[in-house]
Amino acid sequence: MGPTSRDEIEIAIICALPREVNAVEALLDETYNRIRNEHMKDYRDVNVYTIGRMGKHNIVVCPMPRMGKVSAAGAATNLRFSFPNLRLALLVGICGGVPFPSSGASEIFLGDVLISDSMIEYDFGRQYAGGFQRTSGVKERLGRPNQEIRTLLSALRSSEVYGSFQGQLSKHLDDIQALNERWMCPGVSRDVVFEESYRHSHRTIDLRQHCDCANGISVNCARHGRENTHARRRRSSENSNHINVHIGTFGCADRVMKSGEHRDLLEKNEGIIGIEMEGAGVWDNLPCVIIKGVCDYADSHKNKAWQNYAAATAAAAAKALLWCWEHSAKAESRAVQKVGMPIPIPKTVFFGRKIELEQIERKLGRPERGRKGAVLWGLSGYGKTQLALHYITMHKPSYGAILWIDSSSADSVHDSFAQVLSKLGINVNEEQSAVELVLEWLEQDLNRSWIIVFDGVDGREDPNEPDYIDLRKYIPSCDHGHVLLTTISSDLHLRLDFAGIQVNGVDEQAGSEILLRWSGSSISSSSAPATAKAISRRLGGVPLALEQAGSFLSHGITSLAEYNRQFERQFVETTFETPFCKYFESYEKGRTLWTAFEMLYDALSRQRSDSVKLLHLLALQDRGQIPFSAISNLVAQYDENPESPDLTWLLHLHSQMDDFASALRELEVSGLVKFNRKRSDTAIDSFLIHDMVRFFVRLKLPKEDIFDNAAFAQDTAITAGRFSNAIIDGPRRTALLL
């Protein structure tokens, strides 16, 4: 008797090729029905299913319409619609194997079974004119398996469970081979590993010449006469009936790998054991384990001789794995308790932010109804940390656990998790770190109402950069709880697939209240609120700038009205550099707005010098939106005018589209400039620089760059219909200010 409802099915097996589906279905102990009728599945679901029993588990078998990550992602999404209670998805089929893993693992042979514990997308990166550059960062190394899968894989690595698993695998392989000889091993004599540099091709007398024509690829190596010369390993008859099982990292891409050299380079850099084409599409959509039989070595010597046998070993391994899977035998559950940790950031007086708070509430919802994440992003000093702190203070009764993770460095992240662990009373063991133990605790089914705040995330993409943090290692893999992050990165939310909430300056009313509060004044003048609002406008509503201005005013050396009148001429740098008043116990003592912008500026300088030059140029424009076309138009004018200022760097940069796009990209990611794009297109329509950023950059601008950039900016302003020409002497250096 089959399941009475689709809700009872908790396990899915996904296959990309017909031979893979046939192997899996051959090992079903019972087949109940094939679902094609739209009334038997979700109306949005276009998949075709087979419902059956494998061992004691009711399962759904899902054939994919075609190979590749996109098709796999679509199949996984539809599965979630029709089978909402899925706890495990097995991606079963064939793959290319790495014959000689450098990690010290056993050699891999054709017919061996590979099982995933992690996954990378090796075709994720950027295409430049000179070639493809793979990105190594958060996005392409996918999240780790959930707790149940990690427990299963951990058990599988033990000698006792592995021995039982091997016995079950052999039994199921014998069963399927008894049904049809198509599933038999082709013979160990056909298992040959060639030198990685040896290409499968016709050869002329001159061995340096190659012909990789389609006819050459279809002919086996023995007929080319080079098999003996270039064979690196031949499989002995001693292990002809033995199937090894390897657990490790898969590499996934939408293109077939047919190069031994590229395969070995990828293995060296990433430690992969196999290469396939669908895993990344399923991995982050469903709790997933990839089980694949090795049918070739991902080189130019591919052929189909081993595909049926590899599909059979994978199907047998999948059934054996389900024999080990005990949904009711979960990891030891620790008592769920109310947990709070000391937050190392005193809460200041909070003003405004009603819209942003409503956005956070809308994006996150209730913590027990699906894991959700939100990223608060914006420039330093905009109050992202205080906004996050105010949110969790308001919603404290809704959470059983509130975790605050200082994300300024990898060390601080680990220290924060260690503090949480001490609150839980869990003893650290040698096999698991504090991070792993805390994540396991958060992932428990009974522990569903928690929020974890990652404060001050740098958001760097390149793992080679100092202080790079792979956030996916620290985010729980479960379907409950909330994750909230604060960062200066404008695209971190896209890379994590979380909701993004941009944090800008506060409104005039809130800004004036912050200013007056920090000035410590009890001003009764009716003009004081209006003056404070005017100052708030000048400071762009930046809380950090308003607090620093208030700190300066609290010294009593100037009046509120005088500060407003003389701000640009006298007090810009004072506002930048005034430290916080100690009696307010600021959460960032000693930090000034200058240091906040200085960190962003220095980071941009390290990334691309031409991005900094563009910043210098754009910061000399007038307030408000500047049409981006004005820059391009003036590049053409200066190119034709021999008496123009020395902006050859810009002409050269503008002529190199890849470099120009990269420079703009780094500038946008820094958050110092906002580019607005057309609604109907991806092209940049205009740009906007915050007033305080313009002031800062103009003070940083080297003297030798001022007049060339100023002349260019003046022409740009004329072209855009916005002209600014006030040049004054500031106390730091000659600077262009409004």
Task: Mark which of 324, 348, 364 sits at the end of a domain.
Answer: 324
Better-predicted residue by pLDDT, 410 or 195: 410
Top-confidence residue, 269 or 203: 269
Looking at the structure, do residues 473 and 447 belong to the same domain, yes or no? Answer: yes
Q: How confident is the model at residue 129 (pLDDT cuts 50, 70, 90)?
A: low
Question: Residue 138: what pLDDT?
Answer: 38
- Name the least confident of 183-187, 241-245, 329-333, 651-655: 329-333
Listed range (159-168, 462-471, 571-580) with the worst mean pLDDT: 571-580
654 and 565 share a domain? no
pLDDT at 676: 78
Of the candidate ranges 256-260, 297-301, 657-661, 670-674, the one whose mean pLDDT is the lowest: 670-674
Q: Are residues 138 and 263 in the same domain?
A: yes
Segment 482-506 mean pLDDT: 89
Q: Give residue 304's pLDDT band: very low, low, confident or very high (50, 70, 90).
A: confident
What phi and psi values does residue 455 have, to the nearest 5 degrees?
Answer: -100, 130
Please, is 661 exposed, middle or buried when counting C-beta atoms within 10 Å of its C-beta (0-12, 13-18, 19+)? exposed
| pLDDT score for 581 | 41
Band of residue 303 on the pLDDT scale cut at 50, 70, 90: confident
Percent residues over pLDDT 70 in the chain = 70
* pLDDT value of position 720: 44
Q: How far apart are CA 318 and CA 289, in angstroms?
A: 9
Output the pTM of the full model: 0.50
State how far the Cα of 88 lies from the Cα of 58, in Å rounded to an integer: 12
Q: Distance between CA 348 and CA 363 in Å, rounded?
A: 25
pLDDT tens for residues 611-623? 888 888 777 776 6
pLDDT value at 650 more than 80: no
Number of domains making up the chain: 5
Please tell me which of 174-183, 205-214, 219-228, 351-360 the model is most confident about, judged by mean pLDDT. 174-183
**Most confident listed range (59-68, 103-112, 416-425):** 59-68
Confidence of residue 646 (pLDDT cuts 50, 70, 90): low
The answer to the question of residue 165 being in a domain is yes
pLDDT band, very low/low/confident/very high, at 474 (cuts 50, 70, 90):
very high
In percent, the amount of the chain with pLDDT more than 90 equals 20
End residue of a domain, out of 295, 324, 353: 324
The average pLDDT across 77-84 equals 88
Check if the beta carbon of residue 133 is closer than 8 Å to that of residue 464: no
C-alpha to C-alpha distance for 34 and 20, rounded to whole angstroms:
17
The pLDDT of residue 732 is: 32
pLDDT for the residue 206: 43
Task: List the CATH number of the domain containing 57.
Answer: 3.40.50.1580
Average predicted confidence (pLDDT) for the chain: 76
Confidence of residue 520 (pLDDT cuts 50, 70, 90): confident
User: How many CB atoms neighbour CB 570 within 10 A?
Assistant: 14
pLDDT tens for residues 36-69?
544 467 777 889 999 999 988 899 999 999 999 9
Say if 334 falls within a structural domain: no
Decide if pLDDT at 246 tops 90: yes
**pLDDT value at residue 482:** 93
Average pLDDT value for residue range 329-357 = 59
Residue 179 shares a structural domain with residue 55: yes
* SS3 label, residue 132: strand
Question: Quick check: is 229 in a domain?
Answer: yes
The pLDDT of residue 331 is above 50: no
Q: Greater confidence, 672 or 17?
A: 17
What distance in Å separates the CA atoms of residue 710 and residue 191, rounded to the nearest whole number? 70
Output the pLDDT for position 115: 95
pLDDT above 90 (res 192): no
Confidence of residue 555 (pLDDT cuts 50, 70, 90): low
Q: Is the pLDDT of residue 662 over 90?
A: no
The answer to whether residues 689 and 611 belong to one domain is yes
478 and 375, same domain (yes or no): yes
- Banded pLDDT at 330 (limits 50, 70, 90): very low
So what's the pLDDT on residue 178? 94
351 phi and psi, to 5 degrees? -125, 140
Distance CA 555, CA 548 (A): 11
Same domain, 608 and 630: yes
Residue 252 has pLDDT above 60, yes or no: yes
> 3-class secondary structure for 73-130?
HHHHHHHHHHCCCCCEEEEEEEEEECCCCCCCCCCCCCCCEEEEEEEEECCCEEEECC
Question: Taking 50 as the threshold, does the pLDDT of residue 7 lie above it?
Answer: yes
Average pLDDT over residues 547-571: 72
pLDDT at 90 over 70: yes
> 403 pairs with which residues across the strands?
452
Q: Is residue 445 part of a domain?
A: yes
Strands 288-296 and 113-121: antiparallel
If you average pLDDT over residues 156-178, what whole number do you get? 89
In terms of average pLDDT, the best of 502-506, 562-566, 696-700 is 502-506
Compute the average pLDDT of residues 466-471.
79
What token pair was written down for 36? Answer: 């094609």
Residue 463 belongs to some domain of the structure: yes
Judge contact between 736 and 696, C-beta under 8 A. no
439 has a pLDDT exceeding 80: yes
Structure tokens at 675: 């580019």
Tally of CB atoms within 10 A around 333: 11
Contacts of 449 (CB under 8 A, 6+ apart): 367, 368, 398, 399, 400, 401, 480, 481
Confidence check: pLDDT of 680 > 50: yes
Q: What's the pLDDT at 261?
A: 83
Give the span between the Cα atoms of 316 and 18, in whole angstroms: 16
Given a contact cutoff of 8 angstroms between Cβ atoms, the answer to whether 426 and 444 are in contact is no
DSSP output for 485-542: EEES-SSHHHHHT-EEEE--PPPHHHHHHHHHHHHT-----TTHHHHHHHHHHHTTT-
- pLDDT score recorded for residue 290: 97
The gap between the terminal CA atoms of the chain, to the nearest Å, is 80
Give the model's pLDDT for residue 141. 55
Q: Are residues 179 and 196 in the same domain?
A: no
Last residue within a domain, chosen from 455, 473, 502: 502
Is the pLDDT confidence value at 736 over 50?
no
- Residue with the two structure tokens 């959930």: 146
- CA 45 from centre of chain: 28
In a domain, 1, yes or no: no
553 versus 70: which is more confidently predicted? 70
HEC per residue, 279-332: HHHHHCCCCEEEEEEEEECCCCCCCCCCHHHHHHHHHHHHHHHHHHCCCCCCCC
Same domain for 444 and 347, yes or no, is yes
Is 117 a domain residue?
yes
Indicate if 227 and 261 belong to the same structural domain: no
- Tell me, yes or no, whether 617 and 702 share the same domain: yes
The pLDDT assigned to 14 comes to 97
pLDDT surpassing 70 at residue 723: no
Domain of residue 153, residue span: 6-184+243-324
Q: Is the same domain home to 287 and 370?
A: no
In a domain, 389, yes or no: yes
Q: pLDDT by residue (tens digit) across 260-279? A: 788 888 888 888 999 999 99
With CA atoms as reference, report the closest residue to 311 among 295, 290, 288. 295
Instruction: Say if residue 13's pLDDT is above 90.
Output: yes
Q: Where are the beta strands (DSSP E) in 147-304?
A: 192-194, 202-203, 210-211, 231-234, 245-252, 272-276, 288-296
Q: Which residue has the higher pLDDT, 55 or 425?
A: 55
Query: Is the confidence at residue 147, as pLDDT, over 80?
Result: no
pLDDT given at position 343: 63
